[in-house]
Structure 1
Amino acid sequence: MVSSMISNLTIVAPHEAENHFQLSLRQAFETLQPNLKPPFSLQIPKPDDYFNLNSAILYGVLTQPHLAKTHIKHLHGIVTDGYAIFVNSLVGVVHQLYPKLVGSVKIQLIWVAEEMVNVLAVGFDSLLVSLLRQIVGGDFGDANLWLCLKLVTFFLDKWQCLLEESPHVLSSGLYTFLRVLSDHCRPAKGNVEKLESLRRLEVHFCVKIVREEFRLCLKIGRDFIRLLQDLVHVPEFRDIWQDLVLNPSKFNASEFRDISDIYCMRTSHRYALLRITPEMETQLLFLLTHVKLGHQKRHQMWFARKFLNEPDRDTVIVDIVRFICCAYHPPNEIIQSDVVPRWASIGWLLKLCRKNYVEANVKLALFYDWLFFDERRDNIMNIEPAILLMVHSIPKYIDMTHTLLEFLLLLMDNYDIEHKGIIVKGVSSSFQLLASKGVIQSLDVLTSCNALSPVLKEGLGRLLSGVKLGASNGYLPV
């Protein structure tokens, strides 16, 4: 049988059914395999036949490296849609199958991605972003470091093309590599030499963007600063930080006069989505839309075993919290249901942090939009989980309320002393809006809480002295 000789895209366990999408690609290849050898038909295929031929060629490219150039020539000869169907199927492979792909298929995937950039295929930017999403934070395994190396090299090799045709892909690359550098620049793991060469490339790529194309950093918004501050111990980024603070004109960007300009730029949710793999996103959304509060424990244990079990993997919690705050805003029917709320999931994630610096970064991710909040440009849903976590932890988990409020007040005083006025205004505006919109019934729940330390209540009282404490019948009361 022909099918017995066909290589698989993925490694499938005996008890697993084949993915439906993978099956459709393989069946197209099996059916059309005789047509994939020269001489190729010159007849223009009908729409259905064209779709299947694209699927068959894609399967051939990925599973037959020795014939890949022939298959690509075939594709170039028949393409009538700017490669849109082919690239869309490639995105499907990355999105649905990447973690289980055979090693040789992953190599082919990078190769064919380069081919699609070379011909400026429709949707090549979505393909590159999909590949970036497969880089896992805190993962020092060979496969993950290989993907980092391939993509950062790819971005440097295709620099001019990406800059001209799809600069937002470079912004996405910058966000991704700034984030993974915070892992890679910590004490070396495993193969020190391999990690060091990767680190050098990642630093070179990020510094090149910041120094040469600063406007792409501004596209990211305030989270650019959050990521950069995690790297100030690295000499190249320390130099950048000093210039940002002391010599902003060096970046030749008219819209950037002072670091506070970046504080005021809200980060699009698509950047938070970049640091969550599609598989992780699917499981998180299931937890946040289908699992009832009180029945979440086994789902959370499964999630933690699957995604957070490796020694350094808890840095991903920072990314997950940023995703929950910024990229997943539940509709009212979910908010009003008995499904696990966002604040409860964040409380659970905070308890999983094994290292102090990770816990601090998770809290910063939770409160980051509070520091610069402006109702005219920011979304109340970004700041909602933190207030609800503090309020709902009273009185049973008062330590959680205490530690979060203490962190927030310390953050206000110490995050950026030069711009403390902006930060105090942002935090007080957050409290004011959350109360006025009825996210909580009243700020009295915190200011009059006997279980909170007098020092915290005093600090909170000073902050709120100009804030009305009543609630309207807006949003949803606790």
Structure 2
Amino acid sequence: MVLNLTLVALHEAENQIEVSLKQSLKSLEPSLRPPFTLTIPKPDEYAQLNCAILHGILTEPQFAKTHIKHMHAVVTDGYAIFLNLLLKSVYHLYPKLLSSVKNQLLWVTKEMVRVSAIGYDVLLVSLLRQIIGGDFSDDNLWLCTKLVTLLLDKWDCFLEEVPHILCSALYVFLRVLADHCRLNGEKLESLKRLEVHLCVKIVKEEFHLCLKIGRDFVRLLQDLVHVPDFKSIWKDLILNPSKFNTLGFGAVSQIYCTRTSSRYALLRITPEMETQLRFLLTHVKLGHEKRHLTWFARKFLNEPDKETVIVDIVRFICCAHHPPNEIIQSDVIPRWAVIGWLLTTCRRKNYIEANVKLALFYDWLFFDERVDNIMNIEPAILLMVHSIPQYVDMTNTLLEFLLLLVDNYDMEHKDIIVKSVSSAFRFLESKGVIKSLDVLTSCPTISPSLKEGLSRLLSCGKRESSKGFLSGS
């Protein structure tokens, strides 16, 4: 009997990827036991054999070593087809895979790393994306443990062959650690030690990889300064950058000026979540979004701890989902509206709300029109402007947060931040994202102190002065 890969509800149809793998195993099962045939299969036969072997590995742990030896014996394409099948299984099936199948999936992943199969780095990225922020379930913590252990065990291999995997892993585990370090308990202690060890190892031994991440590396690191290992790293970053012994690196401002690639924002969104968000932001009309948002919240934000993933969603929307003009000019729900809704769902915990706002404004703090994308900063200004008629409290709250950020985020580099935020406002105006900044500076329902602070910020941005912008400071 051919076993299932996934747990499928009665009302759900079987996934076609699983159907294909299952059918291949069913038709080729007799030929998957030794002795194996020595004839070279035709291309279509080879593809089917890859399907059959993969299904056998995932559902027959007792024969897994035999199946993988068979794969090694017949491979003619550097495992390209086999890796592609693994990738599809992770991307489309992972959340529903049976626990035993997930275990086999990680086992065969290690084997693909061992033989340097073509595309194993893409497979690892796909698995990293399955780690869910704010999820303390046994399944999620198990995946964290398996991947961080693999990354440490195969450190030399990854450093030599695919160093970008270590960049991706650092981004993921810095973010995940922020969640894990807020909870105590035996079940988390050993995992936290492994995650801290991996991240500290990358930062201290291969700091040049941190620089490739760009400014979001600093944002994530700041969320961990209460952890002793990272507190010392932060002090060195600010006070003693030469300690990192990296050619050309001399100050944290260099990291601020490096825009983080959108692929890092994608790392913290599962493929399933990405699919739903892109559908929402591409097909759902404004005014008809309520049931879609309710479903999304029930599916992905249904537990208090999972609210932290809202930070990741906002970064994804700002940095990785840039709709074309035909969508922007249509009646599809805009990005700013979804972010506004997300902000209203995370008000039970102040630190989450603050981190969501920071995620929204982060590119403003170091905006440079020569290297930054206007689409990263567009949602924040549109949310402030469009909230004025009915939800001016949202406008006031966001504007106050931004001015406080300018005043307090990094006093040593405040002049850079003043210039960047002022430049962001004026660039948005010049490109027609908003008709005029007067909509904020002259609005009667916006707090007078905030309007005054914004006006001073805009004028100081031209002079590159750095006095305070709130309460006349």
TM over 0.5: yes
Displacement of 1:92 in angstroms is 0.7
- 1:35 corresponds in structure 2 to 31
2:360 partner amino acid: L
1:206 and 2:202 are equivalent in the alignment: no
Displacement of 1:35 in angstroms is 1.1
C-alpha separation between the residues in 1 aligned to 2:143 and 2:266?
Answer: 18
C-alpha separation between the residues in 2 aligned to 1:272 and 1:411?
Answer: 22
- 2:107 corresponds in structure 1 to 111
- 1:390 corresponds in structure 2 to 384
- Gaps of at least 5 residues in structure 1 are 469-478
- 2:368 corresponds in structure 1 to 374
- 1:462 corresponds in structure 2 to 456
- 1:310 corresponds in structure 2 to 303
- 1:174 corresponds in structure 2 to 170
Indicate which of 2, 6, 31 corresponds to 2:2: 6
Identity, % of aligned positions: 75
C-alpha separation between the residues in 1 aligned to 2:442 and 2:218?
Answer: 35
- 2:470 corresponds in structure 1 to none
Displacement of 1:7 in angstroms is 1.1
Secondary structure of 1:435's counterpart equals: helix
2:143 partner amino acid: L
2:362 partner amino acid: Y
C-alpha separation between the residues in 1 aligned to 2:263 and 2:461?
Answer: 33
Indicate which of 56, 59, 65 corresponds to 2:61: 65
8 Å CA contact 1:12–1:18 kept in 2: the answer is yes
8 Å CA contact 1:62–1:108 kept in 2: the answer is yes
Displacement of 1:467 in angstroms is 7.4
C-alpha separation between the residues in 2 aligned to 1:140 and 1:266?
Answer: 31
C-alpha separation between the residues in 1 aligned to 2:361 and 2:246?
Answer: 28
Indicate which of 255, 261, 264 corresponds to 1:262: 255
- Note the 1:147-296 alignment, pairs <5 A: 147-188=143-184, 192-296=185-289
C-alpha separation between the residues in 1 aligned to 2:62 and 2:118?
Answer: 26
C-alpha separation between the residues in 2 aligned to 1:67 and 1:467?
Answer: 67
1:364 and 2:358 are equivalent in the alignment: yes
Displacement of 1:360 in angstroms is 0.1
C-alpha separation between the residues in 1 aligned to 2:339 and 2:318?
Answer: 9
Displacement of 1:283 in angstroms is 0.6
C-alpha separation between the residues in 2 aligned to 1:118 and 1:187?
Answer: 35
Displacement of 1:466 in angstroms is 6.5
Displacement of 1:255 in angstroms is 2.6
1:86 and 2:82 are equivalent in the alignment: yes
C-alpha separation between the residues in 1 aligned to 2:438 and 2:247?
Answer: 44
- 1:438 corresponds in structure 2 to 432
1:186 partner amino acid: R
- 2:471 corresponds in structure 1 to none
1:18-61 CA distances to partner (integer Å, 9 max, x unpaired)?
Answer: 00111111111111111111111111111111111101100001
C-alpha separation between the residues in 2 aligned to 1:162 and 1:194?
Answer: 28
C-alpha separation between the residues in 1 aligned to 2:76 and 2:330?
Answer: 48
Displacement of 1:6 in angstroms is 1.2
Displacement of 1:361 in angstroms is 0.1
- Gaps of at least 5 residues in structure 2 are 463-473
C-alpha separation between the residues in 2 aligned to 1:408 and 1:267?
Answer: 20
Question: Considering only aligned residues, what root-mean-square deviation do their CA atoms show, in Å?
Answer: 0.9
C-alpha separation between the residues in 2 aligned to 1:364 and 1:128?
Answer: 29
1:410 and 2:394 are equivalent in the alignment: no
Secondary structure of 1:276's counterpart equals: coil
2:260 partner amino acid: T
C-alpha separation between the residues in 2 aligned to 1:28 and 1:261?
Answer: 53
2:338 partner amino acid: S
C-alpha separation between the residues in 1 aligned to 2:12 and 2:248?
Answer: 53
- 1:449 corresponds in structure 2 to 443
C-alpha separation between the residues in 1 aligned to 2:226 and 2:369?
Answer: 34
- 1:333 corresponds in structure 2 to 326
8 Å CA contact 2:215–2:255 kept in 1: the answer is yes
Indicate which of 25, 31, 50 corresponds to 2:21: 25
Secondary structure of 1:255's counterpart equals: coil
C-alpha separation between the residues in 2 aligned to 1:421 and 1:28?
Answer: 63
Displacement of 1:414 in angstroms is 0.2
C-alpha separation between the residues in 1 aligned to 2:271 and 2:416?
Answer: 36
Displacement of 1:249 in angstroms is 0.4
1:399-443 CA distances to partner (integer Å, 9 max, x unpaired)?
Answer: 000000000000000000000011011101100110000000110
1:307-351 CA distances to partner (integer Å, 9 max, x unpaired)?
Answer: 001120000000000000000000111101100000000000000
Secondary structure of 1:94's counterpart equals: helix
Indicate which of 388, 397, 400 corresponds to 2:394: 400
1:19 partner amino acid: N
8 Å CA contact 1:432–1:467 kept in 2: the answer is no
Secondary structure of 2:432's counterpart equals: coil
Displacement of 1:449 in angstroms is 0.4
1:146 and 2:142 are equivalent in the alignment: yes
C-alpha separation between the residues in 2 aligned to 1:200 and 1:138?
Answer: 18
C-alpha separation between the residues in 2 aligned to 1:338 and 1:449?
Answer: 26
Displacement of 1:187 in angstroms is 3.0
8 Å CA contact 2:418–2:460 kept in 1: the answer is no
8 Å CA contact 2:384–2:398 kept in 1: the answer is yes
8 Å CA contact 2:418–2:461 kept in 1: the answer is no
1:349 and 2:342 are equivalent in the alignment: yes
C-alpha separation between the residues in 2 aligned to 1:282 and 1:329?
Answer: 14
8 Å CA contact 2:164–2:209 kept in 1: the answer is yes
Indicate which of 84, 91, 97 corresponds to 1:95: 91
Displacement of 1:465 in angstroms is 2.1
- 2:466 corresponds in structure 1 to none
1:251 partner amino acid: F
C-alpha separation between the residues in 2 aligned to 1:104 and 1:42?
Answer: 31
